[in-house]
């Protein structure tokens, strides 16, 4: 799966959302999250993020490796909703993201 890491937090550009053929990039409160059960690894989202927040899971920088767990936590709570468009923003983040100080400039 692909994973969204820290540069997305408090930025949420959402260019990635329009690229995803399976609509598996879900909006939380401070970040977006890719559903690892729904992502088909097409990779279309990765180059369009202006802040380079998206990585293939094996290519995550060490400091951000925990963002894979963040996505797992997010979908463990919300479940597989079968489409981000219909689901809409959840207004929630996993506690690891909630705990971050304000990001972005
Ligand atoms: Fe976030 Fe980049 Fe998408 S900032 S919403 S991962 S385009
Ligand atoms: Fe969608 Fe990106 Fe996966 S475009 S299918 S979330 S690699």
Counting the structural domains of the chain, the total is 1
Ligand positioned closest to the Cα atom of 21: 2
User: Could you tell me if the ipTM is greater than 0.90?
Assistant: yes
- Give the pair of three-digit tokens for residue 27: 């909006």
pLDDT digits (tens, 9 = 90+) for 39-66: 999 999 999 999 999 999 999 999 999 9
Domain of 53, CATH number, reads: 3.30.70.20
pLDDT digits (tens, 9 = 90+) for 72-101: 999 999 999 999 999 999 999 999 999 999
Confidence of residue 104 (pLDDT cuts 50, 70, 90): confident
Distance (Å) from CA 44 to ligand 2 centroid: 6
Residue with tokens 């598996």: 24
Residue-level pLDDT at 105 = 64
Name which residue sits closest to atom 3 of ligand 2, judged by CA: 39
Residues at CB less than 6 angstroms from ligand 2: 2, 19-20, 22, 24-25, 34, 39-45
CA distance linking residue 42 with residue 2, whole number of Å: 9
Residue with tokens 């949420």: 12
CA distance linking residue 56 with residue 75, whole number of Å: 18
99: in domain: no
Ligand positioned closest to the Cα atom of 32: 1
77: in domain: yes
Residue-level pLDDT at 87 = 96
Range of the domain at 11: 2-85
Residues, the chain, total?
A: 105
91: in domain: no
């Amino acid at each position: 799966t692909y994973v969204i890491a820290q540069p997305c937090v408090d930025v949420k550009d959402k260019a990635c959302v329009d690229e995803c053929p399976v609509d598996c990039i879900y909006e939380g409160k401070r970040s977006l999250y890719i559903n690892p059960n729904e992502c088909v690894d097409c990779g279309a989202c990765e180059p369009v993020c202006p802040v380079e927040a998206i990585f293939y899971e094996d290519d995550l920088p060490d400091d951000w490796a925990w963002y894979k767990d963040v996505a797992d936590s997010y979908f463990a709570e919300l479940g597989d909703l079968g489409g981000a468009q219909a689901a809409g923003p959840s207004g929630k983040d996993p506690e690891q993201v909630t705990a971050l100080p304000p990001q972005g400039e």
